[in-house]
Structure 1
Amino acid sequence: MKRILSLLIACICLSVSAIAQTGSIRGTVFDTNREPVPFSSVFLQGTNTGATTDEEGAFVLEGVKPGEHRLVVSAVGFQRESVTVRVTEGEASGVRVSLEQAQQGLSEVVVSASRTPETIDQVPSSITVLSRKAIEEDMLVSSNLTDILSNRVPGLAPSTGTSSNWGQTLRGRAMLVMIDGVPQSTPLRNGAVDLRALDPDAVERIEVIKGATAIYGNGAAGGLINYITRTPRQQKALSSRTTVGTGGSLVEADNSIGARVSQMFYGKTGKFDYVVSGAYEQTGEWKDAEGDVLPPDYGLGETDSYNGFVKLGYDFTPFNRLQLTYNYYSSEQKTNYLPEYGNYETRQKTRAVLGETQGVPQGVRGNHNLSLRLSGEHAFLNSRYEADAYYQAVDNVFFWSPVFENGGQSMISSEKKGARILFSTPYKISGSLDGDVTYGLDVLNDITSQPLVDGRTWVPEMDMLNLAPFVQLKTTIAEDLIFKGGFRVEKVSISVDDYTTLRTVNTKTGEIDNPGFAVKGGELGYNAYLFNTGLRYNRSAYFTPYASFSQGFSVADIGVLLRSARVDDIGKISTEAIVINNYEAGFVSKLGKLRLEGVGFVSTSELGASGLYKDGVFVVIRTPERIHGFEATADAAVLENLSIGATFSYVEGKIDANENGSFKDEEDVYLGGERISPPKYTAYLRYALLENRLLFNLQYTGIGARERFELNEKGTYSFYQGPVEPYRLVNLSASYRLTKSTSFNVGVENLLNEDYFPARSQWFTGTNLYTKGKGAAFNVSMVVEL
C-alpha cells in the first residue's frame, strides 16, 4: 500500500512539474468590424494543438511549450491569418487576431483530402466544398442531392433527375460516396444509387476531392464525395431549427403538391454536446415541361422520405473527445403509375400511365450508419490520434422487371463493418521547416449481394476483407511551399460460394434466354501498392500553383459479371482490379475581389472499367484507357451586396483498342456516355437588399453537346453512344428574413420551363430510361431558428 501511495505521489509531482514547464495562450478572434468570430479554428503550426473559439470569439490553448510559435486562425467566409506568439513558462500569453472577409470559404478546414484537419490552401489538388450556407441556399429550390451537387461541382456529370446516379461520373470515373468517412458506395455491385444516402438537412458540408485517390480505399477511381454531418452551432444548452415547406409543379399543379418538415435540436452543456434531428418529405407527382407525369422507373415523384439523425459528443479534456453518430434514411416510391415505354428512334418519350403496380415500393428501403469515434491530441510525441469503428447497412430496391422468369424485383443489399486507427505526428526541423507524418490502418469487411425481393439469387453474396496500412508525409517549407507524399497498401480478398445463375427471359420473344446453370465459387485476391505526391506554392495570392500525382484502386463490378456468367467457374471470369493514375496541375489567383482557379488533369489505367456484351456474356473491357479534361472557376464580389461566378468543365476519354500505347489510331474508340459527360457550364448571381434581409440567388446550368459516334449497322446508335444535344436550366430563389429567427423562402426550379431530355436519356438510347426532365416547379418554406 505504501509503495502504491508513493508511486501516486511521484506521478502527481511529475504532472505538476510538467505543467509548470509549459505556458498557455489566451486570445480573441475578431473581424474587421471588431465583431467576434465564433467557432473559428485556432491551431499552432507544426503541432496538433488547437481549439475552437466560443460565441464571443475567445479561445484558450493550454500546455504550450515555452518559445516562439506560429498561431494559425481560420473560419468559414474569412481569409486565413497567422501571427507569431511568444510563450513564457508558467504564464498566459494574450493575443488578438483580426480576420478579413473572403470571397469564398477557401480557408475552410477540410478533412477528406488527407484524413487530418487542414485548410484548402494546404492541399495540392482540386477540391470543391459546399458549405452549410450553400446547401441551404440550394434547398430553397430542391432537396435532391444529385441536383445540388451537379449544379455546384465542376467535373461532376449532369444530374439524371432521378433516384439513380448511374452515368453521373466524376471526371469520367466512378466516385466513392461517404458519410463522415463511412463508405456508402457498393463497388462490388455498383447500383449507382449512393448519392441519395441521407437527407441534406443532416449535412453540415460536403467535401468533394476530384481525381483518383486511395486515401479511403477501394472505389474512388474518379474521386470521393464525403457528407460531413451536422455539429452543434451554438454553445448554449438548447437551440433549435424548424423547417416547414411545400412544393409542386408550375405547369400542371393537380396531384403534384408535396410537403416537407424538418426539426433539429442541438446544444452544448459542459463537456457534453448533441444534435438530434428528424426530417420527413412527401413529394407529389413530378411532371415534365408539357405537364405529363414522369414515369416511375427510378422516379422521385410520389416518394416518402424519412431521416433520423443523432450525434452525441463528450470532451474528456479540451483535446480528447468521444463521439457517437447514427443516421437512418429511407426513401420509397409509392405510386399507382406504370411506365409506358417510348421509342428512342422516333424520339417518343417514355410516359407514365395509371395502372396496378407490381412488387414492392422501389427506393432506399433503409440505410443505417452507426459510428463510434475516439479522437484526441497530445499523445506520444505530441501526436493527434483518431480511432473509430463503424457499421453500415443498406437495401436499395429497384423497379419490377419482366426480364426475370415470372417477373421480379432485385435489390442490392450491402453490410459493411470497419475499423480505422490513425496517428498524426508533427515534426519541426527548424523555424522554416516543419510538417507532420500521418499513418494508420484501415480494416473493412463488405458483404454485398443482389437477390430478388422474393428470395431468388441473382448475384450471390460477395464477402470482401480489405486491409490497408498507409503513411502520408506533409512538409511545409518557409510557410509557402507545401510538399505531400504518401504510400498505401491494399490487400483485398473476396470469397464467393457456389451458386446457380438466375433464369431470365427474352422480353421480345418471351423465351428463356438463360436457363440457369451451376457456377463454382472461390476466392479472388488483389494486392495493390499505391503512391501519391504533390506540391503547392502559396507565396503570392496573385498566382498560387499546385501539381499532384495520385493513384486510385477499384475492383471491377464483380456482381454484374457473376450474374451474367456463361462459364462454370468464377476463376474464368475477367475480374482483375484496376489501378488508376491521376495527374493534375492547376492554379488559384486572387486579384482584388476576383478569384480564379483553373486545373487540367489526365487519368490513365492499364485495365479498362467499361463493359459490354460479347457473345452473350457481359465482360469488362480490359484495354487501356486515357481520360483528360480541364475545369475553370471564377468568382467576384462586384459590390458588398452583389457577387457573381461561373464554372466550366470539360472531359473526354478514349480506349486504346489495339493496345499499342497510342490513343490516336483509327481503331481507338471514344468512351461512351456512361463514362464521359458533355461539357458543363454553370453561373450564379447573388444579390442582397434591405441590409441583407432580402436575398436573391439566380443559378444557371448549361449542358453542351457531345457527338462522338456513328450510326451502327441497324441504322441507330448503340447503347451509351447516342449524341447529346444542349439544354439549359435556370433556377431562382429568394429568402426574406422576417425577424432575427424567422425567414420566408421561395424557390423556382427550371424557371424557364425548359423542355428537355437529360444527358443520360440521350446517350443511353434505351426506351426504359428515355424520359424527359422535370418541368418548372415551385418550393415555398419557412425556417425558424431559436
Structure 2
Amino acid sequence: MFSILCLLVLSVAGFSQDLTTTGGIKGIVRAEDNSPVPSATVRIKDLKKAVLTNNEGAFSFDNIQPGSYTLEVSTIGYKPIEKLVSVLAGTYSELSLQLSQAQTELTEVIVSAGRTKETIDEVPSSVTIVGLKTMQQNINITPNLGDILENRVPGLAPSTGLSSNWGQTLRGRSLLIMVDGVPQSTPLRNGAMDLRALDPAVIERVEVVKGATAIYGNGAAGGLINYLTRNPKTDKLLNSQTSLSTTGSLVNKSNSMGARMSQLFYGDKGKFNYVLSGVYEQTGEHKDADGDVLPPVYGLGETDSYNAFAKVGYDFNASHKVQATYNFYSSRQTTNYLTENGDYKTGQKTTAKLGESIGVPQGVRGNHNLGVQFSGETGIANTRYDADVYYQSVDNIFFYSEVFVDGGVSRILSKKNGARLVLNTPVLLNNIDANFTYGLDAQRDITSQPLVDGRIWVPEMNMLNIAPFIQTKFTFFDKLVLKGGVRYEKVNIGVDDYATLPTKNTRTGVVTPSMDVKGGDLKYNAVVSNVGLRYNLSNYFSPYISFSQGFSVSDIGLVLRSARVDDIEKINTEAVIINNYEAGFVTRVKNFRFEATGYISKSSLGANSVYSDGVFVVVRSPERIYGYELAADYQITKDLQAGLSYSYVEGKLDADDDGKFDGDSDDYLPGQRIAPPKLAGHVDYAVIPGKLNVLLQYTGILKRDRFARNSSGSYDPYKAPVSPYHLFNSSIGYNFNESTSLNLGIENMFNADYYTARSQWGAFNDSYTKGKGACYRITLNVKL
C-alpha cells in the first residue's frame, strides 16, 4: 500500500511539473459561412504531431514545449492555411481558424474515383470534371448530353447525335452511367440509351473516371460517367431560375422550330434545404446541311422530353443528415416520317419521307430514380458514414423492325433496387496520412427485352449482386499518394426456361426458327483490385501510374436471344475481367495546366458484338486496347480561358487465340468499339466582364481506316472507314443585369455537310445518315 501511495504522489508531482513547464494549443476550424469543419487535419509542422478536428471543428494539442510553431490546417475542398503560434508554459494558445473553399482545378473535389471525397491531385489516374458553368453554357447550344461530353471529355468516342449512344464508348469499352452514384446502365441487356438518363438542367457537375475501375463493379469496363445533381448553394429559403428558349434550323426553317422551358426552385435555410425542377422541351424537325429532314430512327427531332426533379435535405444536427432525391425523365419521338434507306456503297444518304409510322413512339418512356441517403459521423475514430437505398426503373422503346416475323417493336425493361454502406476512417501517423474507405454494395437487377405486343425476345434475367470492398489511401509527406483496394463480386443471374423468338434476315428473307432453351442460374465470383501511385513532386511535374481491374458480365441478353443451343449452360456467358494499365503526368506553370496519359487495356476474354447473317453474335476472343490522351488548359487572362485536347485509341482482338496481337488488319476491333482520333478545343472569353461572354467550341473527328473492302466492293458492317469532319459551335451571352440574361447558341455554325462517325463505320443502308446542319437556340434566363 505504501508503494502504491508513493507512486501516486510521484505521478501527481510529475503531472504538476508538466502543467508548469509545457503548454498547449487548442482551437476551432470554421468555413467561410462560420459552420464547423469536421475531420480537418491540423498538423504542427515543426513536430511529428497531427490531429483531426471533431464534429464541432475543435482540436487540441497537449504537452507542447514552449516556443514558436507553424500550424498547418488542410482538408478536402478547402485551401490549406498556415498559422504561426506561440506556446507559453502553463497555458493553452487558443485559435479561431477559417478555411476558404478551393477554386483551383488541382483542388477540385471529386467523389467518383474512390467512393469518398478527394481532390484531383490525390488520384493516380485520369479524371475529367465538367462543371456547372460549362454545363449551363452548353445547354444554350444543345441539351444533348452526348454532344456536350464529346467536346469536353478526352477518350470519349464521337457523339452519335441520336437518342442512342451505342458506339459512343470510353477508351474503346463500354462505360457505366450513374446519377448520384446510382447505376443507369443496363449491362444485362445494353440498350445504349443511358447517356441521356436525365436532363442536363438538373446536373451540377459531371465526373468521368477513365479506364476499367474496380470501385463500382459490373459495367465499368471502360470507365464511368457520374452525373451529380443540383444542390442548393444559398442562404435564402426561396430562389428561382427560369429559362425559356426556342430553336430552329438555319438552313431550312420549315417545321424546324422547337421550344424549351425550364423552371428551378431552390433554397437552404437552417436545417432544411431543397431543389425542385421541371423541364419540358419539344423539338421540331431536325435538318441536315442540305435542309433535308433527318431520318427518324433514334432521331431527336419531333421529340417531347420531360424531366421532373426533387431533392430535399434535412440536417438533424452537425453530425447527421438525410437527403431524399427523385428524378423522372422521359423523351419520346412522335413523327410523321418514315426512313427511306440510302445506299452506302454508292454514297446515297438515308433520308426521311412522309408517312404514318408503325408501332409506338420510340425513346425513353420513363426513367425513374428514387433514393434516400443518410450521412454523417459515427463518433468512433473520426469515421464518416454514407448509407443509402435506391430504386431505379427504365422503359426504353426502340423503333419498328422487320427483323421480327410479322414485324415488331422491342423494349428494354429494367428495375434495380439496392442498398449501399460506405464508411471512411482517416488515420494520422506522424508524416503519413492514411484513409480507409470500406463498405458493401447490394443490388437486385431484373432486366428483360420483350416486344411491345408481348412476345419475348430476351427473357427476364434476375440478378443479385453482393460486393464488399475496401479502398486505402496513404499520403506520405503531403506529396506521395499510394492508393489500393480490392472488391469481391458475387453475382447470381437466374433465367427461367424460355424460347428464342423467330427472326428474319431482312436482306435474304431467311427465318431463324424458335428454339426451346433450358434456363438456370449463372453464377460469378470474382476478386478485382486496383493500385496506384502519384507523386506531387511540384506544380511543374506530378506523375502517376496505376493498375486497375474491371468486372463486366457481358451483354447476357444479347447472347440469350441469339442462342442456338438448348441449355444456357452450353452458352459462353463467362464474365470479362479487364486489366487496365495507365501512366501519366500533370504539369502546371502559373495559369497553364497540361496532362498527358497513356494506357493499355487487356482482357483474356472479349465481348465484341458482330453482325452476322442478320443477327448480333458475341465474339469472345482476347482483346487489347491502347491509346493516349493529351489535354491543356490555359487561363490566358482573368477574362480569357482556352482548352485543347487530343485523343487516340486503337484495339485488336486475338482471333486465332495464339496469345499474340500481330495478325492482319482483320484483327482490328471494329468501329462500334474503337473511335477515330479526336481533337477538341474551346475558347471562353468575357468580352465585357459581367456583361458579354463568348464561347467558341471546336470538335474534329479524324480519320480511321483499318479494314479492307469485301468481295462486293463495299465494307462489312462496323468495318468501314471514317472520313474526317470538323464542327464549330458557339454561344454568346449578354447579362442585362444580375437577374436577366439572353443567350444565342449556334450549333454547327459553318453548316458542315458530313456523315456522323457512327453512320460511316456502320456501313448500313438504313442508317447511313448525315449529321445535323446549322441551327440556333435563343434562351432567356431570369433569376430571382
* TM-score, with structure 1 as normaliser: 0.91
Report what 2:201 is aligned to: 201
Q: 1:590 to 1:419 in 2, by over 3 A?
A: same
Report what 1:222 is aligned to: 222
Q: Structure 1: any 5+ residue segments left out of the alignment?
A: 1-20, 30-36, 52-59
The CA deviation at 1:687 is: 1.3
The CA deviation at 1:407 is: 1.1
On the 8 A contact 1:290/1:775 being kept in 2, the answer is: yes
Report what 2:777 is aligned to: 779
Report what 2:299 is aligned to: 299
Residue of 59, 65, 77 corresponding to 1:64: 59
The CA deviation at 1:48 is: 11
Distance 2:759 2:34 in 1: 47
Distance 2:533 2:436 in 1: 16
Q: 1:658 to 1:273 in 2, by over 3 A?
A: same
Distance 1:281 1:508 in 2: 38
> Does residue 335 of structure 2 align to residue 332 of structure 1?
no
The residue identity in structure 2 corresponding to 1:117 is: K
The 3-state SS of whatever aligns with 2:162 is coil
The CA deviation at 1:434 is: 1.4
Q: Deviation string for 1:218-240 (max 9, x for gaps)? A: 00000000000010021211111
Q: 1:82 to 1:571 in 2, by over 3 A?
A: farther
Report what 2:465 is aligned to: 466
Q: 1:38 to 1:728 in 2, by over 3 A?
A: farther
The residue identity in structure 2 corresponding to 1:638 is: I
On the 8 A contact 1:48/1:378 being kept in 2, the answer is: no
The residue identity in structure 2 corresponding to 1:465 is: L
The residue identity in structure 2 corresponding to 1:62 is: G
Report what 2:280 is aligned to: 280
Distance 1:43 1:83 in 2: 17
Task: Out of 61-70 and 539-548, give the one that drifted further.
Answer: 61-70
Report what 1:481 is aligned to: 480
Distance 1:309 1:617 in 2: 39
The residue identity in structure 2 corresponding to 1:45 is: T
Distance 1:496 1:74 in 2: 45
The 3-state SS of whatever aligns with 2:364 is strand
The 3-state SS of whatever aligns with 1:142 is coil
Q: Deviation string for 1:635-661 (max 9, x for gaps)? A: 112222222220000000011222232
The 3-state SS of whatever aligns with 1:540 is coil
On the 8 A contact 1:141/1:747 being kept in 2, the answer is: yes
The 3-state SS of whatever aligns with 2:400 is coil
The 3-state SS of whatever aligns with 1:165 is coil
Report what 2:28 is aligned to: 25
Report what 1:142 is aligned to: 142
The residue identity in structure 2 corresponding to 1:472 is: Q
Report what 1:403 is aligned to: 403
Task: Out of 91-100 and 565-574, give the one that drifted further.
Answer: 91-100
Report what 2:363 is aligned to: 363
Task: Out of 241-250 and 651-660, give the one that drifted further.
Answer: 651-660
Aligned length: 744
What does 1:513-528 correspond to in 2, within 5 Å?
A: 513-528=511-526
Report what 2:560 is aligned to: 562
Distance 2:762 2:742 in 1: 41
Distance 1:743 1:272 in 2: 30
Q: 1:386 to 1:651 in 2, by over 3 A?
A: same
Distance 1:247 1:414 in 2: 33
Distance 2:536 2:233 in 1: 31
Report what 2:96 is aligned to: 94
Distance 2:188 2:222 in 1: 16
Distance 1:26 1:569 in 2: 64
CA RMSD of aligned residues (A): 2.3
Residue of 41, 47, 61 corresponding to 1:45: 41
Q: Structure 2: any 5+ residue segments left out of the alignment?
A: 1-23, 43-49, 63-69
Report what 1:762 is aligned to: 760
Distance 2:502 2:224 in 1: 36
Q: Deviation string for 1:376-413 (max 9, x for gaps)? A: 12432210111111000000000011111221100000
What does 1:503-652 correspond to in 2, within 5 Å?
A: 503-510=502-509, 513-612=511-610, 618-652=616-650
The CA deviation at 1:341 is: 0.8
The 3-state SS of whatever aligns with 1:763 is helix
Report what 1:711 is aligned to: 709
The 3-state SS of whatever aligns with 1:346 is coil
Q: 1:206 to 1:90 in 2, by over 3 A?
A: farther
Report what 2:734 is aligned to: 736
The residue identity in structure 1 corresponding to 2:682 is: Y
On the 8 A contact 2:37/2:57 being kept in 1, the answer is: no
Q: 1:42 to 1:761 in 2, by over 3 A?
A: farther
The 3-state SS of whatever aligns with 2:28 is strand
On the 8 A contact 2:718/2:762 being kept in 1, the answer is: yes
The CA deviation at 1:693 is: 1.3
The residue identity in structure 2 corresponding to 1:543 is: F
On the 8 A contact 1:332/1:362 being kept in 2, the answer is: yes
On the 8 A contact 2:79/2:100 being kept in 1, the answer is: no
The residue identity in structure 1 corresponding to 2:579 is: N
Q: 1:606 to 1:40 in 2, by over 3 A?
A: farther
The residue identity in structure 1 corresponding to 2:96 is: G
On the 8 A contact 1:23/1:62 being kept in 2, the answer is: no
Distance 2:677 2:615 in 1: 33
Report what 1:417 is aligned to: 417
Q: Deviation string for 1:99-131 (max 9, x for gaps)? A: 7864xx332111000000111111111000000
Distance 2:611 2:236 in 1: 60
What does 1:649-728 correspond to in 2, within 5 Å?
A: 649-666=647-664, 669-728=667-726
The 3-state SS of whatever aligns with 1:596 is strand
Distance 2:754 2:53 in 1: 51
Distance 1:702 1:24 in 2: 54
Report what 2:18 is aligned to: none
What does 1:165-204 correspond to in 2, within 5 Å?
A: 165-204=165-204
On the 8 A contact 2:442/2:466 being kept in 1, the answer is: yes
Q: 1:27 to 1:495 in 2, by over 3 A?
A: closer
The 3-state SS of whatever aligns with 2:657 is coil
Q: Deviation string for 1:281-335 (max 9, x for gaps)? A: 1111000000000010000000000000010111111231111000000000011
Distance 1:87 1:344 in 2: 79
The 3-state SS of whatever aligns with 2:138 is helix
Q: 1:374 to 1:91 in 2, by over 3 A?
A: farther
Distance 2:413 2:84 in 1: 54
Distance 1:257 1:669 in 2: 46
The CA deviation at 1:465 is: 0.6
Report what 1:316 is aligned to: 316
The CA deviation at 1:567 is: 1.1
Distance 2:573 2:553 in 1: 8
Q: 1:120 to 1:50 in 2, by over 3 A?
A: farther
On the 8 A contact 2:29/2:99 being kept in 1, the answer is: no
Distance 1:693 1:480 in 2: 41
The CA deviation at 1:714 is: 2.5
On the 8 A contact 2:505/2:615 being kept in 1, the answer is: no
The CA deviation at 1:91 is: 8.5
Q: Deviation string for 1:320-356 (max 9, x for gaps)? A: 1111000000000011111001111011111111101
Distance 1:38 1:774 in 2: 50
Report what 1:502 is aligned to: 501
Distance 1:690 1:616 in 2: 58
Q: 1:758 to 1:95 in 2, by over 3 A?
A: same
The 3-state SS of whatever aligns with 2:107 is coil
